[in-house]
Amino acid sequence: MQKPRILAAHDSMVLLVDMQEKMLPAIHDSDLLVARAERLLSAARILGVPVVATEHCVEKIGATDPRLAGYTDLVLYKEHFNATRETGFVEQLPVGRHNVVVIGTEAHVCVLQTALGLAQAGLTPWLLSDCVGSRRESDRAAALQRWLASGGNVASSEMAMFEWLGSARHPQFRDVLALIKNIPE
């Protein structure tokens, strides 16, 4: 897996994995997870980073949480845990955005399997440690450990936002900084 040293807004996209209404109540610290994801997606919108969401078995789990749905540029439906196994999935992702910032649920199932699939497809996935969740914290931790052991990139939402900005001279620095200052602990 190729490891870039730093993210840049012009070659990044966000993949919001299965942050669905009926699933989120079962996720450990789901309100905190959604709040962090919402701040990241707000920064993505400000900085022109496209956001693609997946919805797993939407007829059973519901649509993307309404607090996050408005930030998505595209929603892709899936039945496989690994979204890249869906026909045409990778081809529908934004062109030229090889850094895929992956957030969502569940970290040890759909998030991890999709990230592994994206890497196999030649993209560079980044798991954001504070924006992935599972029902049990131990499963989230195991997913991050496995991802790192496979050579994957891990960052936090704050790291991603500062890397997208690149400099305090960025025209949207103050707008994104306001979001960063409000990231819940």
Non-local CB neighbours of 29 within 8 Å, separated by 6+ positions: 133
pLDDT of 70: 97
pTM value is 0.95
- Pairing verdict, β 124-133 and 12-17: unpaired
Band of the pLDDT at 140, cuts 50, 70, 90? very high
**Percent share of the chain, pLDDT over 70:** 96
Burial class (CB in 10 A: 0-12, 13-18, 19+), 166: middle
> Cα–Cα distance between 76 and 56 in angstroms, integer?
9
From first CA to last CA, the distance across the chain in angstroms is: 31
Q: How far apart are CA 183 and CA 119, in angstroms?
A: 28
Reported as a single tens digit per residue, the pLDDT across 63-79 is: 999 999 999 999 999 99
> Which pLDDT belongs to residue 184?
67
Given a cut of 70, whether residue 3 has pLDDT beyond it is no
Cα(162)–Cα(160) distance, rounded to whole angstroms? Answer: 6
Tokens of 151: 């050579």
Q: Please give the Cα distance from 140 to 112 (Å, whole number).
A: 10
pLDDT of residue 182: 79
Instruction: Write out pLDDT tens, residues 79-117.
Output: 999 999 999 999 999 999 999 999 999 999 999 999 999
Residue 24 is encoded by which pair of tokens? 């989120």
Residue 1, pLDDT above cutoff 60:
no
